[in-house]
């Protein structure tokens, strides 16, 4: 899986917007609130707690929506795919 980290205000605000060819997962840190306004296609979203536990996951979030989770420390997003996606209780961790 190709993972890119967005940790500046500008990169988090932009998210996947304007990146139609991006084929990976974007990790927005910190982030607990996303929107899909201006998006041309659906995205998959997972909110992650500070310990790496997925606390909320959504698939096929259509354009013009807003999702937020006050407990999230980070958010994962990708363009919607038929590939498996995260579910609540999954854990993400830094690999070696």
Cβ-contact 74, 46 below 8 angstroms: no
Higher pLDDT, residue 10 or 54: 54
pLDDT at 89 over 90: yes
pLDDT at 96 over 60: no
Statement: the pTM of the whole predicted model exceeds 0.75: yes
What is the rounded CA–CA span in Å between residue 62 and residue 48? Answer: 20
Q: Give the Cα-Cα-Cα angle 24, 85, 54 (nearest 5 degrees).
A: 105
- Computed over every residue of the chain, the mean pLDDT equals 92
What per-residue confidence (pLDDT) applies to 95?
62
**pLDDT tens-digit profile of 13-27?**
888 887 878 889 999
Domain spans, the chain: 3-78
C-beta atoms surrounding 96 within 10 Å: 3
What per-residue confidence (pLDDT) applies to 28?
94
**pLDDT tens-digit profile of 26-67?**
999 999 999 999 888 999 999 999 999 999 999 999 999 999
Structure tokens at 17: 């917007």
Fold classification of 3-78 (topology level)? Jelly Rolls (2.60.120)
- In three-state secondary structure terms, 16 is coil
């Amino acid at each position: 899986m190709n993972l890119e980290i967005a940790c500046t205000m500008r990169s988090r605000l932009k998210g996947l917007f304007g990146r139609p060819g991006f084929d990976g997962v974007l990790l927005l840190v910190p982030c607990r609130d996303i929107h899909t306004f201006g998006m041309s296609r659906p995205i998959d979203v997972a909110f992650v707690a500070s310990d790496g536990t997925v606390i909320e996951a959504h698939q096929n979030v259509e354009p013009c929506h807003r999702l937020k989770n006050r407990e999230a420390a980070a958010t994962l997003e990708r363009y919607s795919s038929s590939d498996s996606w995260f579910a609540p209780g999954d854990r993400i961790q830094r690999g070696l």
